[in-house]
Amino acid sequence: MKALTYHGKRDVRVEEVPDPTIEVPTDAIIKVTSSAICGSDLHLYEVLGPYMDAGYVLGHEPMGIVEELGSEVTNLRVGDRVVIPFNISCGHCFMCDTGLMSQCETTQVREMDKGASLFGFTKMYGNVPGGQAEYLRVPQAQFGPIKVPEGHADDRYLFLSDVLPTAWQAVEYADISDGATVAVIGLGPIGDMACRVARERGAGRVIALDLVPERLERARLRGDEVYDVTGEDNVVEAIRSVTDGRGPDAVIDAVGMEAHGAPIGKLAHDITSLLPDVLGRKLMETAGIDRLSALHLAIDLVRRGGTISIVGVYGGMADPIPMDTLFDKQIQLRMGQANVKRWVDDIMPLLEDDSDPLGVDDFATHHVSLDEAPQAYEMFQKKQDGAIKVVLRP
């Protein structure tokens, strides 16, 4: 089959790889019909190479049609249309029973001291081949796949794989009361959707921050108050001036480790990418290599007693953060990988609404063939051609 494979920093290629097969009775095989590129995929493209081997299949936002089932998968039938959550969870362990599917004890990557395995996301998270491919082996298929109906194009349901539950959890963790003000830093796919979810769930004001004009305009057209973060100091004061001098009740950091405006962190990324894998892994596991400007902006921006919800991925083990400010402002922090299956029942009614309240039908800005994936990665990383969400069609 064809699949998008990793070969080094900013080097991904479409190649022929072996077709997946059923390996254990809880596996399924799906024929992929759509697979999106995530902002987290750009961390692999740019930073996390020390945790990947050449030829590794990328991608963790797929959906498709069930082709084959292991003997213990009784909840699905061949021909079912399914969305595949990016985290792999069993549905019956202690963590899954408490709603923390991203910490599933059955698929935890204990040798790396990480939570649940993820599709297409490095040795840190199980080294499971991803879904930017023609076919995908789905472990724990007795629980993970989300059956969706016919009648709409893939885009109506595809974002259940990651974008929708991740944005939903970000808003949930932000603890936004009715009428409250929330600021979202970073208007990539997750931040953009978090703005939509926040409004749907009762936020009185949504303030959207980015530095890409097309992303800011897209948020403005949906009714958000937008701010260009190019002049960061002025932005904080400007937003305080329209929030009674306090700042927003909650801030969602949807940027993560590759924030702009952090030259020291950028240098650490560059050094890490030049080292042999074993040394690069050691640096990431012992040093502060993240670019923290988005997180620092969130800390400055949120009102005293407010909440910061971190949904952007960070990877450093020794990042310096201003604990004195966090303590003095009595800021609450929540963060973590989305527990996809926990939120599906909350989100599905909005997808079944013909009015499409979250705007998923036209959420993607680009649809390209799998063969065009290398060019799509470059376009997305460089923020060219208004690329905000790219969907691959194998």
pLDDT tens, position by position, 108-153: 999 999 999 999 999 999 999 999 999 999 999 999 999 999 999 9
| Mean pLDDT for the stretch of residues 269-294 | 54
Do 213 and 134 share a structural domain?
A: no
The per-residue pLDDT of the chain, averaged, comes to 91
**The domain boundary residue, chosen from 302, 335, 368:** 335
State pLDDT tens for residues 359-387. 999 999 999 999 999 999 999 999 999 99
Q: What is the DSSP-derived secondary structure letter of residue 216?
A: H
Do 150 and 280 share a structural domain?
A: no
Do 256 and 144 share a structural domain?
A: no
Do 244 and 118 share a structural domain?
A: no
pLDDT at 317 over 80: no
Name which of 302, 207, 298, 285 is nearest 248 in CA terms. Answer: 302
Q: Please list the helix, strand and coil fractions of the chain in percent, rounded to the nearest 5, in that order.
A: 35, 20, 45
**The domain boundary residue, chosen from 335, 356, 381:** 335
- How far is residue 13's CA from residue 192's CA, in Å, rounded to a whole number? 28
State pLDDT tens for residues 18-51. 999 999 999 999 999 999 999 889 888 887 778 8
Do 359 and 294 share a structural domain?
A: no
Q: Over pLDDT 70: what percentage of the chain? A: 89
State whether residue 44 is helix, strand or coil: helix
CATH number of the CATH domain containing 209: 3.40.50.720
Structural domain of residue 55, as residue ranges? 2-161+339-393
| Mean pLDDT for the stretch of residues 249-278 | 60
This prediction's pTM:
0.91
Q: Over pLDDT 90: what percentage of the chain? A: 82
Q: Which residues pair with 109 in a beta bridge?
A: 114
